[in-house]
């Protein structure tokens, strides 16, 4: 599914399959409408005008016998980024799964598959955020791993880029063009893969992919991690693959900006 993910100019990726000629137009329409509603809610929240919709007694009672959320959201567990608040949504609107650094495991994937299969959500949002402590912690862990291995990650990251490599975390290994740096990243990827920490294995691989693309700032680490999380989700889940292929599901990536309260849209 990697053809559906692109990372151009550091601020855009697309994990959406779009074929308006296919039949489940209503699902695609629903996904667009849902995402638009969520972004409108975020605009209200960011400017201090949150309406806190559908959080009243009547809404609660209307949902006693079932839920029909339009969106699933996989986000970081960070206490500053609760999706329902920053999208100004209400009860029954969003099915949320949250882990530190929005990393994946079987429970996360199974929960999202449940949202798609049993609840019929047409939109899946993978939401990272600015100043992610989980990402920052893994950056520090990578520095320790590199130091212990006698590797200067900063120098590898700063290595001169040969020709105009396309910045694409999926295919970057083929484009980096620097064999010494490639060796360093091969070693680092092996060390990260052998870590006891699932956070280091997951976010660490994303950070290394970003560094290998000479994207060496925390903002880019966070963006690349969102892109790679979407890629991993699709690769690991037949249900999500089938949802995308049949136009019943749209996946978008986004990053919440703590400094402004706004959502940086990375896909869709
Ligand atoms: Zn975080």
Q: Is residue 118 part of a domain?
A: yes
Whether residue 16 has pLDDT greater than 90? no
Residues 194 and 138 in one domain: yes
Tell me the average pLDDT of the chain: 86
CA 171 – ligand 1 centroid, Å = 26
Whether residue 106 has pLDDT greater than 70? yes
Q: Is residue 211 part of a domain?
A: yes
Q: Is residue 228 part of a domain?
A: no
Whether residue 102 has pLDDT greater than 60? yes
Q: Is residue 18 part of a domain?
A: yes
CA 85 – ligand 1 centroid, Å = 16
Residues 147 and 184 in one domain: yes
Whole domain around residue 88: which residue ranges?
A: 2-132+239-265
pLDDT confidence of 257, banded at 50, 70, 90? very high
CA 11 – ligand 1 centroid, Å = 19
- Give the domain CATH number at 115: 3.40.1050.10
CA 25 – ligand 1 centroid, Å = 34
pLDDT confidence of 10, banded at 50, 70, 90? very low
Placement of tokens 């039949």 in the chain: 23
Whether residue 5 has pLDDT greater than 60? no
Residues 124 and 137 in one domain: no
Q: Which residues belong to the annotated binding site?
A: 76, 78, 129, 132
**Contact criterion met (CB below 8 Å) for 206 and 232:** no
- d(CA 128, CA 76) in angstroms, rounded, equals 6
Q: Is residue 257 part of a domain?
A: yes
Whether residue 25 has pLDDT greater than 90? no
Q: What is the pLDDT of residues 56-74, one digit of tens each?
A: 999 999 999 999 999 999 9
Q: Is residue 180 part of a domain?
A: yes
Q: How many CB atoms lie within 10 A of CB 260?
A: 11
Residues 49 and 155 in one domain: no
- d(CA 261, CA 157) in angstroms, rounded, equals 31
The DSSP bridge partners found for residue 126 are: 74, 253
Tell me, yes or no, if the pTM score tops 0.85: no
Mean pLDDT of 230-253: 97
Residues 249 and 117 in one domain: yes
CA 142 – ligand 1 centroid, Å = 17
Q: Which residues belong to the annotated binding site for Zn(2+)?
A: 76, 78, 129, 132
Sheet holding 123-129, edge to edge: 94-99, 71-76, 123-129, 250-256, 263-265
Residues 112 and 243 in one domain: yes
Q: Is residue 230 part of a domain?
A: no
Residues 122 and 178 in one domain: no
Mean pLDDT of 151-169: 59
Mean pLDDT of 63-88: 98
**pLDDT value at residue 158:** 67
Residues 35 and 55 in one domain: yes
Question: How would you class 131 by CB atoms within 10 Å of its CB: exposed for 0-12, middle for 13-18, buried for 19 or more?
Answer: middle
What angle (nearest 5°) sits at the alpha carbon of residue 30, between those of residues 69 and 130? 70
CA 193 – ligand 1 centroid, Å = 21
CA 36 – ligand 1 centroid, Å = 24
**pLDDT value at residue 164:** 39
Residues 123 and 138 in one domain: no
Q: Provide the b/e sequence for 33-70 (b: ≥16 CB within 10 Å).
A: ebbebbbebbbbbbeeebeeebeeeeeeeeeeeeeebb
Residues 246 and 187 in one domain: no
CA 78 – ligand 1 centroid, Å = 5
Residues 103 and 20 in one domain: yes
**pLDDT value at residue 26:** 67
Q: Is residue 227 part of a domain?
A: no
**pLDDT value at residue 155:** 79
Residues 111 and 14 in one domain: yes
Number of domains in the chain: 2
User: For the chain, what percent of residues have pLDDT higher than 90?
Assistant: 75
Whether residue 8 has pLDDT greater than 50? no
Whether residue 191 has pLDDT greater than 50? yes
């Amino acid at each position: 599914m990697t053809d559906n993910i692109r990372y151009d100019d550091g601020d855009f990726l697309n994990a959406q399959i779009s074929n308006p000629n296919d039949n489940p137009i209503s699902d695609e329409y629903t996904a667009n409408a849902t995402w638009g509603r969520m972004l409108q809610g975020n605009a209200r929240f960011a400017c201090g005008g949150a309406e806190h919709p559908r959080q009243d007694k009547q809404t609660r009672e209307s949902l006693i016998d079932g839920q029909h959320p339009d969106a699933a959201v996989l986000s970081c567990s960070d206490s500053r980024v609760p999706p329902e608040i920053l999208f100004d949504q209400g009860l029954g609107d969003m099915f949320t799964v949250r882990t530190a650094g929005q990393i994946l495991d079987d429970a996360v994937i199974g929960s999202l598959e449940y949202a798609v299969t049993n609840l019929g959500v047409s939109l899946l949002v993978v939401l990272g955020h600015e100043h992610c402590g989980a990402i920052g912690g893994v950056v520090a862990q990578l520095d320790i791993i590199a130091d212990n291995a006698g590797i200067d990650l900063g120098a590898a990251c700063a290595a001169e880029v040969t020709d105009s490599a396309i910045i694409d975390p999926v295919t970057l290994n083929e484009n980096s063009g620097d064999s010494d740096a490639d060796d360093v990243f091969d070693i680092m990827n092996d060390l990260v893969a052998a870590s006891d920490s699932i956070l280091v294995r997951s976010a660490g691989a994303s950070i290394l992919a970003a560094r290998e693309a000479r994207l060496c700032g925390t903002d880019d680490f966070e963006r690349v991690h969102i892109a790679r999380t979407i890629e991993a989700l699709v690769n690991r889940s037949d249900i999500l693959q089938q949802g995308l292929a049949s136009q019943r599901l749209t996946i978008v990536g986004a990053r919440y900006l703590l400094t402004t309260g706004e959502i940086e849209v990375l896909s869709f």
